[in-house]
Structure 1
């Protein structure tokens, strides 16, 4: 065949090795079917059934060889067909069936019609290369770990490099990224995205913030980027190539480029030895997490914001590790928003505004005053900082990463951070000249009365503490004896279940989520609520309410812990994560088809119907968004995260509450802070459009005219071009375009500006079931209301007395 490389076939039976003389495997070979077997022995600390090895396996001077075959998990009760390296730390490089592992006795077959077909032990097809209209002649594994199917002319029909395991953080030498694809760091905090206009590195906050970019000249439209020994190169439609990031350490050894959890993009040899940092950002302070949350970076060093007027609001997370960041001395609480203030941090800027070469992030508001900007932040529970430019631009931040010190006073913009203020004791009055002539008897009487007052206050304080402990004990005893309550765990038990909170799944506004395993082997998600030592009865009351609430489309609360100052919640584990990762990816292997999307939409509607109409108390969620919709192993949708929810008595039609939620999903009536369950209906309408269109409602990466999905929705309704909005990255969605458009009409009903014209969620379910029709007389003037003058709206509403009763604030929060 004239091949330069000689491929080795290994069929692992007691680790025996069979060498093929032909150098690669054809479909006519005697062995074209392999079975996943029980692991036997220990091959370089990995349990694997090895099918192919690259030519470098027979050349120890060349470096580590690539292998492909069945690679099993730690317990070897399931396996993936994968390419991998076998060394001191075995690494899976690519996996065909990462979302659908197979069992022992699964088979992999090679044939000319379909290429590779992976069947589980019961005969079901777990994965295939799905070759059509082409005939496969051979399979080859290259030295850079690219698994290829070849035709009779040795031309490539299919290769693993074109079908990476999404999400992935690694590019191999010779591998491409095309517009719409991205690398995602382990943990999901950072992404490196490619569009036709450039390459962008983001920290995946809400909204995502860019910290590095490459923008070619307008004449060059990027067709794809490729990593090779020269570095990262982009190619235009005319096949012209330009180096974006150079790699000075060229080598004959296989290399990888990896987007790291700290935001760096590093190059490694095949033994994972670091050889270069591709971004080559000279100022380390430009990396978003270099000093952790709230940490200030100056010349690569880290510190916390200092005391202001003698009061310390920030503290290091770990004294000798300032790079881990800082925390608020008193954590923010939506339920104590009246005691929140904004502190101006002098001579500070923020990383998205540090580099003028990075495309400017879009402000939330323009042409507004400083006071309006700061008030908007104070009235939005999700806002943690406000950045204001003298030109009138206002940026509200829902997350705070590293801050950047500047050596000269900044007159261009101001940075304000929200903190929880503690009212200090009234300082003693200064002695005046008039006090010198007071009668001694008056001094003695004043001192005696003062002493009695102090003793009285001390006694009152002790009584209240004693009374509180009694009340808490009574309430906790009550919870332990309420039928249908979830399991109550001790803090020590949850430490054991989570292996001392070792494996973090994610973080949210109310705490951190960890993976755990119950004694019976059931996986759970344990949420540790941070900064909730002040929580009293509301925590236990809501555990009782939501803990006794059961519905298939709500994430199930398995248990809780309320011990001293510890507050933890134990939820069922959702292996497929949140909905956003399945609808916003542009890779076909990650996108959901119409059948799954329709099913998820209906299940979200049913979950909300239960919360609004079928519970003992109405529950208004207040933060419906794709991130808060979790998917189980069968892609059943579960509404989660009740961290901002409100409990409403049945006789209440509307309530007053402070602004809370996520920008882009909040209903227009939040301006008045008078809300009903219809705010959830509005948010559902936004989520519905995002699912159908495969994009975010507020997408700062889009051109200005396409940034707001609702603006496009209104325009396309008027032009009768709703089909243009259907997710273009999914052929299946395009095939079901008429059904998708019909569901968009339901979204339009949910998005009515006047909340009284929106349907109830039970009505939405009936529309989906074909029982009723969508309202025909709809207003298509959809708005994305700014959060301006929200404080005034609340004050005015509270003046008008129309039976608006404050609600019990929720502290429950499912996995984020």
Structure 2
């Protein structure tokens, strides 16, 4: 009797709890003129009539949302399609609307259109989420005028057609597109492609075999594939129509075909009882055959798990993130190249696939060696004994050692002065080249962590149920207490979790942002021994972390925020990642200590190179133009692409650092007040700045907007062009702003004239070879527009980037 009473009370408490929760709108139709709003993202959703799929706003991280479709019963709501995977919208005032004109539009907080459907929208009736997971827009006759199946992101669903125009691109954990593509190739072959600016090549089907050996049709112009409900992947290029079949082939299983961030294509099956996914088919059984897995110059090998390593003479470019690969300890350039100062390191059973400068047949080893050592652009060569095949390499991509004793050998070129004694050469110690069986349950759990999709629920729910049931029975605990306990359990169940891969795959690390102890940084900087520079925000010291990463550690001064506010702002800064922004690795907040840990940038500041007469580095015209473009890209990212507006407020040559390739990286961008994207903040009026670079509205006490950075950027352009400090460039004894205003007026007048020779006198006379006059005029014109007194007339950084790109040779 007690047991029955406990059960009844527990059940009643649970039902009463769920009665208090706002019921999600289980509609599958979005009518004309209706909207889904981000503020009610948990309840205001579409759901297919059978409950399999849901669509609405999905929180990818704090205050950032995508408009997506997901499996309703999957743990952590596995996304299968997103309208804006790499351009999230804000948590307030964002909405997706089926407009009266029939178009479906996703708008950000400020009305900016972030995405819209593409089609011929006449007589539209409604949008409809089907049981297949396809979101369609129908007209009054029932015809589909647009469907999400035509624009997949990283997943194909059963019955969805793979066509000549559709493709999959993975979404990384930083919510940016990955380097892999799944689509039909130019030969009408369904392929996996590694695609980066330097190379683009197919790695599935196996490029070392011909199409016939890979089981593909060589002469075929049809491009059509589909994933069947029973787990059969068919394609027009499969030889003899032989499909790929899932291990659990059969009906009544929810499936998805996903291109994961590690470049592998996997077919997943959903366990409806606990919401977990299992892998039932995988394209690449050997992960090291995935191109680019370890990044440029990295080598993938089995020990016995797939592992990334750098070859001798190379170090990891970004510790913790193998997608960026390795870089040479000493970079070999064609300036003052001396082949006598080079040597080769032998890497047995190793190859960097593709990127061959040439292919020479039947040549001696010495001939092949001489070809590479005589060419300053050659990174190394592959030589095959017996055949005499010689492959000099222009790049080092897709490196791997072979799990079989292959005859391929790479000879890597490094300077003689680089010691490789004692350096472990990557090699594979597993020689079973083809796994006999795909056993998805024997995965190493540590490999599952980087892939956030699927959650393994605990087995104690029934214990909690009866435990609280008996508590309710004997102590007549209030219903709210039971409800709270169940709510706690559910919160644990729905916590963001992690996807596991089919095999012990590549471990992706996308963020190293962390908190450091003060003791760690004292040790890293050797008690703050080497000072790199000092500015208004603090002093910067050079340091080396325990993983041998060189870093810059800034001791911040006059930090007024409390500990929690300081850490909250840094959590935003830590997510900012752009090639033209100095990467922030972490922070320290102990007692009165406030420190920032960022990447170390080799060539120091632009100011030191431009204005220091003792510096023997002279930037040529291309270098200066590239710096102007890179700085513009970095500021455009801060102003327009971050989920929080970041205004730098102190753009100047001292805060522009140059890496080993003289690529600019803006520093100190996170030290100004962060603005919400809702507009200017009245509290941000006098943050900081440097005389000569400060916009005139600061003097008058107007609220600060992104246009102050545009003004400062204009001053930097003039300094890049002339090679002279702005304080020295403007003539006269008046205020810097007044003299700068006169200079701008003079340049504006000259730009309107037909005479062009004055540009020769303005551009730095030290430039050799000569500058590009068209680009110089473009930069001067941009500088003049950036230095407009009226900030509303200054261009945006996005416009500046586009202008520079159009002028770039």
Q: What TM-score, normalized to structure 1?
A: 0.46
Q: What TM-score, normalized to structure 2?
A: 0.46
